[in-house]
C-alpha cells in the first residue's frame, strides 16, 4: 500500500500538557513528525527537544510559525495566549490544534474562527473527553436512539486531592474557563441538535475557604436548560481525595447511559481491610487514549481539510456557557444565553 509523508507539527508551550502532547506526536503517532518546540522558557523548550529528539527548540513563536516546513501547530500555552497564537498560526497557513479554552471572550473566539476560515486551515480544540472510549460509545448509543430523547444529563470533574495549587497564582474563574469547560462541551455534545438557553451557577471556595475573599473558587455546580426541554447539571471540585473522577450520565425517555469510572480497572481487592480498587490520579493516565486519538484526528484533518473533532464553533459554545456561569455567580441569578 502507498504510504503518506508524515505531517510536520510544531508545539507551542512546553508545560505539563504540552509536553504530553509532544510525546504523543513523537512516540505514539506514526503519521506525524514533531519538528519544533517553542516556549518562552528556553530551558524547557531545549530539555523537551533533547528528550524527544526534536531538531528545533526556540523561544520565538513567530520564527516557528514562519518556518515553511511546519504544517500544523499544537497550542498548549497558558489560556490567555491561546486566541492570539491561534490567529497567528492560521494567518501563517498552519493547521491549528488549540488546547481549551480556545479564547476567554466571545470576540476573541470569533477572531480565531474567522482567521481559520479565511486561511482555509483546520481548527480543532482540545476537548479530549469526546475521544474517551466510554464517552464515544455513549454518544453512539444516543445517536442510535437507545436512550430516546435526553431529559437529564450530568457531567462532573473532580480533580485528585489533596489540592496542592496556589489560589494566588490561579487566574480568577479558572473553574469555569479551564475545568468545567470540558463538562460544558460534553453536555452539549451528548445532547445533539439541542441549544443551551439558560444557565444557573453556584461557586464557592470549599477546599480553600481562606482564599474565598480573594475571588478564588474551587467548587461549583451549574444547571443548564436546553431548548429541547432537557436539563443538564455540571459539577466540579479541585480536591477529590479518592482520585481523578470524571463521569457522565444521560437519562432519556427510553433508557440511561453512564460513562466514566474513577477506578483504574475492573480489578477489586478483597482483603482483611475490606474491599478496595486503585483509582486514576492523573488526567494523562486516565485519558491517554483520548489525548492520542484527538491528535491523530487532527493530523488527519490537516491532510483532508475536514475537522472531525471539536471545532472552533464548539469551543465558542462552551465558552459562552462559561461566561454565562460567571455572570450568574456575580449577579446571583439565572442567566439567559441571549444575554451573553
Give me the tens of pLDDT residue by residue for the chain, a chain 340 residues long: 345 789 999 999 999 999 999 999 999 998 999 999 999 999 999 999 999 999 999 999 998 999 999 999 999 999 999 999 999 999 999 999 999 999 999 999 999 999 999 999 999 999 999 999 999 999 999 999 999 999 999 999 999 999 999 999 999 999 999 999 999 999 999 999 999 999 999 999 999 999 999 999 999 999 999 999 999 999 999 999 999 999 999 999 999 999 998 888 788 888 898 888 888 787 666 767 888 999 999 999 999 999 999 999 999 999 999 999 999 999 999 999 999 9
Of 3.20.20.150, 3.30.450.20, 3.40.50.720, 3.30.360.10, which CATH number belongs to 130-287+318-339?
3.30.360.10
The predicted structure's pLDDT at residue 289: 84
Asked whether this chain's domains 7-121 and 130-287+318-339 adopt the same fold, the reply is no
What was the pLDDT predicted at 1? 38
- The domain at 7-121 falls in which architecture? 3-Layer(aba) Sandwich (3.40)
- The answer to whether 262 touches 244, Cβ cutoff 8 Å, is yes
Which residues share a beta bridge with 124? 97
Written as nine digits, the cell of 171 is: 487566574
For 318, residues 6+ apart whose C-beta sits below 8 A from its C-beta are 100, 101, 127, 181, 184, 185, 188
The pLDDT score that the predictor gives to residue 288 is 75
Which of 308, 315, 274 has the alpha carbon at shortest distance from 110? 315
Q: What are the sequence ranges of the domains in the chain?
A: 7-121, 130-287+318-339
Q: What is the pTM of this model?
A: 0.94
CA pair distance 258, 260, nearest whole angstrom: 7
Amino acid at each position: 500500500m502507498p504510504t503518506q509523508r508524515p505531517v510536520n507539527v510544531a508545539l507551542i508551550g512546553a508545560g505539563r500538557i504540552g509536553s504530553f502532547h509532544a510525546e504523543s506526536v513523537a512516540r505514539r503517532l506514526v503519521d506525524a513528525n514533531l519538528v519544533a518546540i517553542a516556549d518562552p522558557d528556553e530551558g524547557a523548550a531545549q530539555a523537551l527537544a533533547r528528550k524527544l529528539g526534536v531538531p528545533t527548540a526556540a523561544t520565538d513563536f513567530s520564527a516557528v510559525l514562519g518556518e515553511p516546513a511546519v504544517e500544523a501547530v499544537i497550542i498548549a500555552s497558558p489560556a490567555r495566549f491561546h486566541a492570539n497564537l491561534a490567529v497567528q498560526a492560521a494567518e501563517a497557513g498552519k493547521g491549528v490544534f488549540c488546547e481549551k479554552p480556545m479564547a476567554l471572550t466571545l470576540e476573541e473566539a470569533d477572531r480565531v474562527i474567522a482567521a481559520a476560515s479565511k486561511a482555509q486551515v483546520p481548527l480543532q480544540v482540545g476537548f479530549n473527553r469526546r475521544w474517551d472510549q466510554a464517552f464515544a460509545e455513549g454518544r453512539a448509543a444516543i445517536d442510535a436512539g437507545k436512550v430516546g430523547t435526553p431529559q437529564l444529563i450530568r457531567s462532573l470533574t473532580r480533580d485528585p486531592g489533596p489540592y496542592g495549587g496556589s489560589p494566588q497564582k490561579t487566574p480568577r474563574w479558572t473553574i469555569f474557563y479551564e475545568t468545567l469547560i470540558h463538562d460544558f462541551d460534553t453536555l452539549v455534545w451528548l445532547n445533539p441538535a439541542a441549544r443551551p438557553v439558560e444557565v444557573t451557577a453556584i461557586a464557592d471556595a470549599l477546599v480553600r475557604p481562606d482564599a474565598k475573599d480573594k475571588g478564588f473558587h474551587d467548587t461549583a455546580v451549574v444547571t443548564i436548560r436546553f431548548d429541547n426541554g432537557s436539563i443538564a447539571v455540571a459539577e466540579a471540585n479541585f480536591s477529590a481525595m479518592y482520585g481523578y473522577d470524571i463521569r457522565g450520565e444521560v437519562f432519556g425517555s427510553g433508557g440511561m447511559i453512564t460513562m466514566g469510572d474513577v477506578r483504574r480497572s475492573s480489578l477489586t481487592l478483597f482483603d482483611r481491610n475490606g474491599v478496595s480498587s486503585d483509582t486514576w490520579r492523573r488526567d494523562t493516565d486516565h485519558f491517554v487514549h483520548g489525548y492520542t486519538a484527538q491528535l491523530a484526528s487532527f493530523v488527519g484533518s490537516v491532510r483532508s481539510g475536514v475537522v472531525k473533532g471539536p471545532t472552533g464553533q464548539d469551543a465558542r459554545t462552551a465558552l459562552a456557557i462559561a461566561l454565562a456561569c460567571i455572570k450568574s455567580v456575580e449577579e446571583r441569578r439565572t442567566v439567559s444565553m441571549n444575554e451573553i
